């Protein structure tokens, strides 16, 4: 049985800019008393390294801060998690779409096509920062798009969207090890269906745009999938698949992801807005989505090609 004091520090950086080296890992290791170190290993040399240790009364919080200080100036993410034995590898993944699985915000890209980027991006940003309610912001943004031809959606899908680095590797690897992977977004099903298929997700949940006579009506179908809805989707999938919430992983960047991140066994703020990053225990600022696998202890030789 795993000692409840056993923790693991995971240091990660971008696959495209690997900057971890043995000097840094040795420096981090020396921050601990020798009798507190259990083991360390490269998960992916230059990109991901983990150190298992026995934590003191603060659960490793002070050590995490020391390690962050030791790597200051390097684009490295430092996270500390309970070792948690076999439960470290999660059986259910729920991922946000916009600015998480893809690099864009879909509605902002539609707005750009319509010449409304500035107006709509401002509302999007305020919603993601938690300054206004998500449902209110979504309806306001969609209303501005009333009358836009559905052809704009096809243009955005084919020309303006790109996957976040590591997205396919994340999903393919977790599925290869028996996990169920779902996309859940406050965006729209017309985009989510295509993205889910491209990445390899098992399922998706999203909002529905109303369309009339080949154009956007300016309305969203009820009920609107927002922050509480994302948490409910996580709980529903977990119940349906008989997976305890502690065995789930959720990832997102916006304020409407906070409830989902809090409910998951492992909730990760990915390149998140400040309100989300400050609330999340686990955050990835510099790393790509492969780091979600490293947090679970997957080494290089288990990553799906």
Catalytic amino acids?
96, 98
CA distance 145 to 147: 6
The arrangement of strands across the sheet holding 92-95 comes to 203-207, 180-188, 92-95, 248-252, 266-270, 282-284
What DSSP string runs through 32-72?
S-GGGEEEEEEEETTTEEEEEEE--TTTTHHHHHHHHHHTT
Q: Which helix (H) or strand (E) holds 209?
A: strand 209-212
Q: Are 167 and 144 in contact (CB under 8 A)?
A: no
CA distance 242 to 256: 25
Q: End-to-end alpha-carbon separation of the chain, Å?
A: 33
Q: Which helix (H) or strand (E) holds 92?
A: strand 92-95
CA distance 157 to 275: 29
Residue that has been written with the tokens 């169920």 in this structure: 180
Q: Which helix (H) or strand (E) holds 228?
A: helix 227-240
Q: Are 100 and 253 in contact (CB under 8 A)?
A: yes
Nearest CA to 83 out of 57, 67, 60 is that of 60
Helix or strand or coil: residue 212? strand
CA distance 163 to 169: 11
């Amino acid at each position: 049985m795993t000692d409840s004091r056993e923790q693991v520090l995971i240091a990660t950086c971008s696959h495209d800019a690997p900057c971890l080296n043995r000097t840094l890992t040795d420096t981090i290791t020396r921050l601990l008393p020798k009798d507190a170190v259990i083991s360390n290993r490269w998960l992916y040399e230059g990109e991901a390294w983990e150190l298992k240790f026995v934590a003191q009364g603060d659960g490793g919080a002070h050590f995490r801060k020391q390690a962050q200080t030791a790597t200051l100036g390097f684009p490295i993410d430092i996270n500390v998690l309970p070792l948690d034995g076999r439960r470290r590898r999660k059986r259910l993944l729920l991922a946000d779409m916009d600015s998480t699985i893809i690099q864009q915000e879909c509605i902002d890209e539609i707005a750009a096509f319509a010449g409304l980027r500035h107006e709509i991006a401002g509302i999007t940003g305020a919603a993601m920062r938690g300054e206004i309610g998500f449902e209110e912001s979504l309806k306001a943004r969609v209303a501005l798009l009333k009358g836009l031809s559905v052809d704009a959606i096809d243009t955005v899908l084919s020309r303006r969207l790109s996957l976040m680095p590591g997205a396919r590797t994340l999903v393919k690897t977790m599925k290869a090890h028996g996990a169920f992977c779902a996309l859940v977004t406050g965006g729209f099903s017309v985009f989510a269906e295509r993205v889910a298929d491209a990445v390899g997700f098992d399922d998706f949940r999203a909002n529905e745009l109303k369309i009339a006579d080949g154009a956007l009506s300016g309305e969203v179908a009820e009920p609107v999938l927002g922050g509480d809805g994302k948490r409910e989707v996580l709980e529903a999938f977990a119940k349906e698949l008989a997976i305890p919430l502690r065995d789930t992983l959720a990832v997102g960047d916006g304020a409407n992801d906070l409830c989902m991140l809090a409910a998951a066994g492992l909730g990760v703020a990915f390149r998140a807005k400040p309100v989300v990053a400050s609330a999340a225990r686990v955050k990835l600022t510099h790393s790509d989505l492969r780091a979600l696998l490293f947090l679970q202890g997957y080494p290089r030789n288990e990553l799906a090609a």
